[in-house]
A and B are shown apart, each in its own frame.
Chain A
């Protein structure tokens, strides 16, 4: 009851006319920033943060929450329309979102993403409201060994993502993992794999650079070859009736979405994990639990809904360790954390007791921002879809311009733009030779986390490899990983056996 009273007070602030306007502006700005390949919530928050010292703090929080949510929704737009994930959290959205757009169902995919994001965001904000304080202890129980086991579990979802060719999938996973080790080795403090002694490699290879390269440039080259002058994407049309039909179809996915939300919230809450593994795991589980797993990757609406619920839920979940433990789970929450410190708030276990106005103001803004984000997003879908009806060569030119500028923007290094060209051309060639690209990109995202937590756990235990199965939480994740890994093989064996026994009867 106390929670409800505090929340109501928070709502009273967040629903003032000024604050409603701030939410609308913030969400719209966030949507466009997130929809731009290369830019994400971190850019939006970074630019707004200094402004928050000018407006009253309660409005400042609302603006930040609005930008944060807007950008999360926007990430799916670029994944679906252009096939370029704007942030690592939206990679899984491309798997089915892009094929849907190519079938002329871009509008439907965007609706699915928006509704799924809304569901994910809402469920996790509710979980957040009720359980924030007790859950902080769970986050504390996660040490390096648990982190490693969790990433291992996320990795097992790869099994379902590769192409038909197991060896080519292995090549791509290893390549992604090796590229993820470029830069500085945190444990020894030594630089490694600095190719050609170029200083640009000191900071490693960013996920965005690889994703924009293979999905942006590579995709453009591939479509030029396959379609030449004819449009690559069936022009999408969107009527009100279709919008309604889309919502009806979403209604049937409630099971996938509620599962994705809860999973996303818990994975996102763990400081090191965050939204990317959450989205992947949600996609992988939706696929393995589906009755028709073969339709995934070919434009199944469920394949859009599953990762989108999870990544939005995870973004909300990742606010929890920031507020209760003072640990940023992502660059964006790191910036938010900096902002809080500047407002004179001390993040940590005492925050909920010492500054309830701030905490409940933030939570209530999350509700409002989430609602505003889904409404504005759906309202803008016709505009996004219209963008796809540009002549193909104009679209290609625009995508390439965005690849160059979007690749430069995050790090402001020409080095990264060159890498985009290299990855783009290499990605095009590899794709033509049937090497799957999704495992490459995902390995690059998860690789650093996996190596780091593996080695940290071993150093702490003097090299005792059994640490991963001796600790209960970690052992549970390892067991689940083994199960997920073997599941497709068991299924395959079972199918073969039933086939081979059938004729004998």
Chain B
């Protein structure tokens, strides 16, 4: 926990420096007669963030930081789950513009329910079919919000003709 606390504090300090650097594009000072410039809010708030995370870091050396979660690294059997779910999520998002939201989400459901849920194929089948059908009717037909289709676009042309 101590090491993780320090690493996160350092990362937040880095992030605030990055924000400060970005903010300097616009004036960061007090513009005479009109108040703070366009960059001053992000700049000085990032500076406060830098200071506060620096205190968090320094404090970890002088005394034990107050924290509830005694251990930061999850149990050994949880790590693959966390990484797996995160990876699957990222893969799904990356695939969405290419193969469309429907194919990507169906693949996501199959993998997730099989690998992490250990469910039977019947349940997986039902959910994998029912979810996109629901999404199509709720988002596209009812709310008229189109989801990304990617290369599956031609398959939807007859559906549009039918439902719109």
Chain A residues within 8 Å of B, Cβ to Cβ: 33, 36, 39, 43, 47, 164-165, 167-168, 170-171, 174-175, 177-178, 181, 185, 187-188, 190, 192-195, 217, 220-221, 224-225, 228, 391, 393-394, 396-398, 400-401, 404-405, 408-409, 412, 414, 417-418, 421, 424-425, 428-430, 432-435, 451, 454-455, 458-459, 462-463, 465
Is there an interface contact between A417 and B93, defined as CB atoms closer than 8 Å? yes
Cα A217 to Cα B90 in complex, Å, equals 11
For A409, the chain B residues whose CB sits under 8 A away are 139, 143, 145
Are A433 and B72 in contact, with the CB atoms below 8 A? yes
Q: In the complex, how many angstroms separate the beta carbon of B59 from the nearest chain A beta carbon?
A: 7
B146 contacts the other chain (Cβ, under 8 Å)? yes
A185 and B5 CA atoms in complex are apart in Å by 34
Using Cβ atoms and an 8 Å threshold, which residues of chain A touch B153?
none
Is B4 part of the binding interface, using a Cβ–Cβ cutoff of 8 Å?
yes
- Give the complex CA separation of A239 and B81 in angstroms: 36
Asked whether A458 lies within 8 Å of B143 as measured between CB atoms, the reply is no
- Choice from A175, A192, A401 contacting B38 with Cβ under 8 Å: A192
The chain A residue sitting closest to B43, CB to CB, is A178
Q: Of residues 56 to 73 in B, which have CB atoms within 8 Å of A's CB atoms?
A: 56, 59, 65-69, 72
Chain A residue at smallest Cβ distance from B123? A394
A-side contacts of B75, CB under 8 Å:
225
Q: Which partner residue on chain A sits nearest B97 by CB separation?
A: A414
CA distance A459 to B19 in the complex (A): 25
A-B contact count (CB 8 A): 191
Cross-chain contact A408 with B49 (CB below 8 angstroms) = no
Q: B residues touching A (Cβ–Cβ < 8 Å)?
A: 4-5, 8, 12, 15-16, 19, 22-23, 25-26, 30-39, 41-42, 45-46, 48-49, 52-53, 55-56, 59, 65-69, 72, 74-75, 77-78, 81-82, 85-86, 89-90, 92-93, 96-97, 101, 105, 108-109, 112-113, 116-119, 123, 127, 131, 135, 138-139, 142-148
Closest Cβ of chain A to B136, distance in Å, is 11
**Which of A171, A425, A462 is within 8 Å of B52, CB to CB?**
A171
* Residue contacts A-B, CB under 8 angstroms, 23 given: A47-B144, A165-B65, A170-B49, A171-B52, A171-B56, A178-B49, A181-B23, A185-B38, A187-B38, A192-B22, A192-B23, A221-B82, A228-B78, A393-B117, A393-B118, A394-B113, A398-B131, A404-B89, A405-B135, A418-B93, A459-B35, A462-B34, A463-B35
**B interface majority secondary structure:** helix
Q: Closest residue to A185 on the B side, CB-wise? A: B38
- Report the minimal beta-carbon distance from B119 to chain A, rounded to whole angstroms: 7
Nearest Cβ distance between residue B155 and chain A, in whole angstroms?
18
Q: A394 to chain B: which residues have CB within 8 Å?
A: 113, 117, 119, 123, 127
Minimal beta-carbon separation of B76 from chain A (angstroms):
12
Complex Cα–Cα for A462 and B123 (A): 67
Q: Do the beta carbons of A178 and B143 come within 8 Å of each other? A: no
Residues of A within 8 A of B77 (CB): 228
Q: Are A400 and B112 in contact (CB under 8 A)?
A: yes
Q: B55 to chain A: which residues have CB within 8 Å? A: 167
CA distance A174 to B72 in the complex (A): 24
- Are B34 and A412 in contact, CB atoms less than 8 angstroms apart? no
Which residue of B30, B68, B85 contacts A221 across the interface (Cβ within 8 Å)? B85
Q: In the assembled complex, which residues on chain A have CB atoms less than 8 Å from the CB atom of B85?
A: 220-221, 224, 396, 400
Contact of A174 among B22, B46, B113 (CB under 8 A): B46
Residues of chain B with a CB closer than 8 A to A463's CB: 30-35
Q: Please report the C-alpha to C-alpha distance between residue A397 and residue B112 in the assembled complex, in whole angstroms.
A: 7
Residues of B close to A454: CB separation below 8 A: 35-36
Q: CA separation between A178 and B131, bound complex, in Å? A: 37
Given contacts A171-B56, A174-B52, A414-B96, 9 further A-B pairs with CB under 8 A are A39-B143, A188-B37, A224-B78, A396-B112, A400-B108, A414-B93, A425-B86, A434-B69, A458-B35
Residues of chain B lying within 8 A (CB to CB) of residue A412: 145-146
A451-B41 in contact given A47-B144, A174-B49, A405-B147 (Cβ < 8 Å): yes
Q: Which residues of B contact A221 (CB under 8 A)?
A: 82, 85-86
Give the shortest distance, in Å, between B82 (CB) and chain A (any CB). Answer: 6
Q: In the complex, A192 Cα to B128 Cα: how many Å? A: 42
Contacting residues, chain A, for B38 (C-beta < 8 A):
185, 187-188, 190, 192
